[in-house]
Structure 1
Amino acid sequence: MLKVPQQQYIKFLYENEDYSISEIAKVMGVNWRTAKKYATKDNWNEPMYRRKKRHPVLGPYLDIIDTWLTEEQALPRKQRYTAKRIFDRLCDEYGFEGGRRTVEEYVAKRRKELKLERAESYEHLEHPGGEAQVDFGTAYVGQPGKLVERKVLTMSFPFSNAAFVFPVRKENTECFLEAMKRIFERIGGVPKKIWFDNLSAAVISIDRDGKRTFTDQFLRFAAHYRFNPEFCNANSGHEKGHVENKVGYGRRNWLVPPPVCDTDTELETYLAQMAESDMDRPHYAKKERIADLWEAERKKLLTMPAVPFEVYRLEPA
């Protein structure tokens, strides 16, 4: 959080020097939203906060409950805790002697707070951990006596800067979903939210009001793996700029000159190894190793379903 003199200087630049929000963000070295927050702030009264209620009986167990409530977010809804189950575990495993009603009230209150925290995190320009962006790129590969074209699906994670890739022959719905499925299986989880452009493998059409019609198979796939799909505005691929950069980075560093892979399986193995070894470098901004950031981020992924999604196309013949 910026100190008060910095906040006031942002306001001064905006009101008296006619700086734009973007110029202020650049001069101050802050996020655009931070610059806008203080540049347009009208109420500078010091906020008054309610004193938090103490929990004399439940206090020693709050961290345990919070941990359980956080961990359950990665599970399907029907497998999450009930307040009674939390109460029973506290009694059985930790010797809790308080009342069940005390636990139920705290669980209900804490769940609302966690929901608000998640909603607020989605308003930031930066992606919170556990979110991904997806896009296709084109690659040329050497195979016996010829140069063949392959499509490479890249799934990037802006928080850690990790990326995973899978090659397919076309950009149709079946190849698109199979590639995502294989990446989910490789990373051992599913991103909570995935950003796409309006690729035809998922979007049939976009109405004038922006409403999209999706392929049935994509909708079933998203429901099966429980991720929340987000789509860029039309002709606005820059809205998922992280994966756009990753597609170009992978092409320049892993596919120039074209690798020689006799089979698609060899290409798949080659690209997986290149993506994995690439994580052994520092993050461009956080200066921590990408692999370490990814290990922390992967804990925020949704759990895999017990039954994998079957990707196929059924046609009359």
Structure 2
Amino acid sequence: MKGMLAMAQQHYIKYLRDVKDQSISQIAEQLGVSWRTAKKYADCSDWNKAEPPLRGKFPIMEAYREQVDTWLIEDQTRPKKQRHTAKRIYDRLVSEFGFAGSDRTVRYYVAKRKSELQIEKSEPYLRLEHPGGEAQADFGTFQAIIGGQLVERKMLVLSYPYSNAAFVFVTPKENTECFLEGLRQLFEMSGGVPNRIWFDNLSAAVVSVGTDGKRKLTDEFQRFALHYRFQPVFCNPAQGNEKGHVENKVGYARRN
């Protein structure tokens, strides 16, 4: 493994050292890391996140990152002339959220995030409207320690672009059973069922996509949608940005 290990992996090394009483060499061999890396995390006593003093890093933006990222991602579906400028984002933060930082801070952050998201290189798309009552759903993957083992788990996220709300339910897999049970739980959490829900062409719902764009849905998913009376809407193949709001929420949930 190269670079810094994920937090779950760091904690697993500490678990093997303190609970399983394994040697540094045993840990390094089991996880396929160097002896130096295994020792670093096995003997670590300070788990505070290191924050090197990077030039141009502005803590005041932390509380607004999610909202700004949402605007930038959704801008990918708009014509270039209708996208947010840094000045427009600053004005909205001040008027809608009481932002107390400077215009320069916002300009720096927006330029940095546009570069990272490669927004300027994205293809033009038709603008997608998401009125109240519409939602987006997507799976995300994360690692956790369960029963002393480092395992991979899935989280199903249901987000509402109109209100910027989101709900998360953890599942062991992405199969049909987990998918439908996850949606049911998310409806309970959010207090209702959306009129329309945007999905990827995930195998738990879609059997195949024809050359004409028509989708053959699984019987289980069709019955589920009929029971809860929502209209499923599917993104074009390989065009996950059409549901950029929920993808942003998946990343936020994973980081937090």
- Match of 2:244, SS state, is helix
Distance 1:23 1:223 in 2: 40
Q: Which residue of 1 aligns with 2:195?
A: 192
Give, as a single letter, the amino acid of the residue that structure 2 aligns with 1:244: E
CA distances 1:193-217 after superposition (whole Å, capped 9, x unpaired): 1000100000000111111100001
Give the 3 Å change call, closer, same or farther, for CA 209–168 of structure 1 in structure 2: same
Using the alignment, how far apart are the partners of 1:247 and 1:149 within structure 2?
A: 15
Equivalent residue, structure 2, for 1:153: 156
The structure 2 residue matched to 1:248, chosen from 245, 251, 255, is 251
Matched, 1:233 2:229: no
> How many residue pairs were aligned?
141
Structure index of larger Rg: 1
Match of 2:208 among 180, 205, 208: 205
Q: Give yes or no for the alignment of 1:221 onto 2:230.
A: no
Where does structure 1 differ by over 4 angstroms across 4 or more consecutive aligned residues?
24-27
Q: 2:185 matched to which residue of 1?
A: 182
**One-letter amino acid matched to 1:168:** T
Unaligned stretches of 5+ residues in structure 1: 1-20, 31-122, 254-317
Q: Within 2, Cα distance between the matches of 1:23 and 1:155? A: 30
1:139 aligned partner:
142
Q: Quick one: distance in 2 between partners of 1:206 and 1:213?
A: 7
State the shift of 1:24 in Å: 6.0
SS in structure 2 at match of 1:235: coil
Question: Offset of 1:124 from its aligned partner?
Answer: 7.0
Residue matched to 2:80? 22
CA offsets 1:50-76 (integer angstroms, 9 cap, x no match): xxxxxxxxxxxxxxxxxxxxxxxxxxx
Change (3 A) 1:250 1:26: closer
Cα deviation 1:17-64 (Å, max 9, x = unaligned): xxxx5236557x89xxxxxxxxxxxxxxxxxxxxxxxxxxxxxxxxxx
Q: Which one of the candidate residues 161, 170, 173 is aligned to 2:176? A: 173
- Deviation string for 1:89-111 (max 9, x for gaps)? xxxxxxxxxxxxxxxxxxxxxxx
CA deviation string 1:114-170 (max 9, x = no partner)? xxxxxxxxx973411111100000011112321111110000110111110111111
DSSP 3-state at the match of 1:155? strand
Task: Tell whether the 8 Å contact from 1:126 to 1:159 is kept in structure 2 after alignment.
Answer: no
Contact residue 158 and residue 167 of structure 2 kept, 8 A: yes
Deviations 1:239-279 (A, max 9, x none): 000001110111011xxxxxxxxxxxxxxxxxxxxxxxxxx
TM value normalised by structure 2 = 0.52
8 Å Cα contact 2:156/2:170 also seen in 1: yes
Match of 1:209, SS?
coil
Distance 2:210 2:160 in 1: 30
Distance 1:212 1:202 in 2: 10
TM-score (norm 1): 0.42
Q: 1:176 to 1:24 in 2, by over 3 A?
A: closer
Structure 2: which amino acid aligns with 1:230?
Answer: V
Are the equivalent residues in 1 in contact too, given 2:128–2:242 (CA < 8 A)?
no
TM-aligned CA distance change 1:234 to 1:145, over 3 Å: same
Structure 2 unaligned blocks of 5 or more: 1-78, 89-125
